Amino acid sequence: MAKVIVGNPKGFALTQNKVYDVIEREGRKITIVNDNNITTSYYASVFKNEGKEVVKAAPKVPTVDEIIETVVIDLGQGAITFSISGAQFVVNNTLGNAGTNISCGIRQIFGINTFYDVFTEFLENEAAQLPAALRAQLVDALFKESVERLMQNVETQVGLFTASTNTNYNEFTRIDNVLTPMTVANHTRINPNSGNEIKLWVLDQQYGD
């Protein structure tokens, strides 16, 4: 429905800057329901937009970088907090790290696949107003940010981190695109126990410093 906005009420039971639905437009006259709930015709000069339809600006879609700037990662509580257009969200962070039997200077990052599953489902349910491509980019960015924070905030000195998953995981390519640039080495092999192809990433703790 076309709308008009009052620019010069002239005491005609109209409110300055108020938007009214157009019931009829004939020549230079526009019919609306005024503040007294009376259907009345007014000259177009009464309205700011001269009888043209008021077009509301589309809500601004935030960028991934703008959302990432709001991220707070609580490694102790296992939670990631971030804001989208002023609305705050808190999501469980499934990423963690544990020592290995190889060396106290090497730790394993776990929870990679679950991270993608949890955040993808969360954004689909709670941030459906964002374009699907933006939601996917946001999950990738949150994953990268979380891995970096995890490596930077371990209590002991760590030389290397490792991470691995099956290459047949449906989000493997996205994970690989994030982790490979962060690695000092990566290898793909067939798991002789399951026949699945697996990939191992070796990450340097100094990445991003």
Which structure tokens are listed for 41? 């015709």
The predicted structure's pLDDT at residue 51: 46
- 3.40.50, 3.40.630, 3.30.1380, 1.10.510: which CATH number matches 64-204? 3.40.630
Q: How many beta carbons lie within 10 A of that of residue 149, not counting itself?
A: 18
Q: Supply the pTM of this predicted model.
A: 0.69
Q: What is the pLDDT of residue 198?
A: 97
Give residue 209's pLDDT. 45
What string of pLDDT tens digits covers the 209 residues of the chain?
688 888 888 878 999 889 999 999 888 889 999 999 999 999 888 888 764 544 556 678 899 999 999 999 887 788 999 999 889 999 998 998 888 888 888 899 999 999 999 999 999 999 998 999 999 999 999 999 999 988 887 666 788 899 999 999 999 999 999 999 999 999 999 999 999 999 999 998 665 44
Please answer whether residues 69 and 90 qualify as being in contact, where contact means their C-beta atoms are separated by less than 8 angstroms: no
Cβ(62)–Cβ(141) under 8 Å?
no
Starting at the edge strand found earlier in the chain, the sheet holding 39-43 runs 24-26, 29-33, 39-43
| Domain limits, the chain | 3-46, 64-204
- Residue 72: alpha-carbon gap to chain centroid: 14
Strand runs labelled E in 29-155: 29-33, 39-43, 72-74, 79-84, 87-92, 96-99, 106-110
Rounded Cα distance between 53 and 67, Å, is: 34
Our measurement of the distance from residue 85's CA atom to the centroid of its chain's CA atoms, rounded to an integer in Å, reads 9
Judge whether 115 and 95 are in contact, CB under 8 Å. yes
Give residue 140's pLDDT.
97
